[in-house]
Amino acid sequence: MNARDGVDTKPSVTIYRSTLCDVPGSVLDHNTRVMFEQDMPDDWIDGLPPGTEEDEALTKEGERGKEMMVVFKRGFGVDYEEKEGSPLLENDIRRNAPGMTWQEIHRIDLDSEFPLGDY
């Protein structure tokens, strides 16, 4: 977000984690969530064995079913409106569905064995 909006605009990303396991929607209630922080060394990705996709602390018994919510706040004064003719980001699903509406993309993506997006 800093690279996109500029550090001076103070964009933020906050991650919340539910305190309850297997209670859908609990992360939406401020009484049943906490801010989630994880200390990661600069070279954290280099230490992962190939194929590692899960954090053991988050996937152990009693932890896996706790919801997470990520809140992105754009920087102050940033004009984030998509302009006519704006280039698509590299992994934008619309690259694979030119001229289609969101409803058409959504329907195809849900029904397809091979979804349009790589996200």
Model confidence pTM above 0.85: no
Contact 26, 20 (CB under 8 A): yes
> Beta strands of 2-119 (E only): which ranges?
12-18, 33-35, 68-73
Q: Which residue has the higher pLDDT, 1 or 7?
A: 7
SS3 for 12?
Answer: strand
Give the residue-averaged pLDDT of 56-84. Answer: 89
Whole-number pLDDT of residue 83: 83
What's the rounded Cα separation, in Å, for the pair 109 and 19?
32
Quick check: 5 and 11 in contact, CB under 8 A? yes
pLDDT digits (tens, 9 = 90+) for 33-47: 999 987 766 776 676
Q: Tens digit of pLDDT for each residue in 109-118?
A: 666 665 555 4
